[in-house]
Amino acid sequence: MFGPLRGYAYIMADSHGRVEEPAPLPDYSEDGVDLTLIRWMLSLTPVERMQVLEEWVDGMLTIRELNGA
């Protein structure tokens, strides 16, 4: 039996209705990758992801102009 969706995992309930919370997700992978940023990006719509990317590119271009590159 599945309960409400929380984060990226359904909460499981047994046949008696007891709910067991899933283990918390780690913030970093074993090789140091920040998983919170990946989860955040995946929570966005494709349009929102493009907006974030465009803002980063605009910021990089501004920095290049200010540095005379």
Q: 0.95 cut: is pTM over it?
A: no
**What is the residue type of 64?**
R
Is a pLDDT exceeding 50 seen at residue 24? yes
Task: Check the CA dihedral 27-29-34-39 and report its sign.
Answer: negative
Q: Report domain extents, the chain.
A: 2-66
Alpha-carbon distance 63 to 35, whole Å?
27
What is the DSSP pairing of strand 2-6 with strand 19-20? unpaired
User: Following DSSP, what letter does each residue of 8-33 receive, concatenated?
Assistant: TEEEEE-TT--EEPPPPPPSB-TT--
- Please give the average per-residue pLDDT across 50-62, as a whole number: 96
9 pLDDT band, cuts 50/70/90, is low
Beta-bridge partner residues of 34: 28
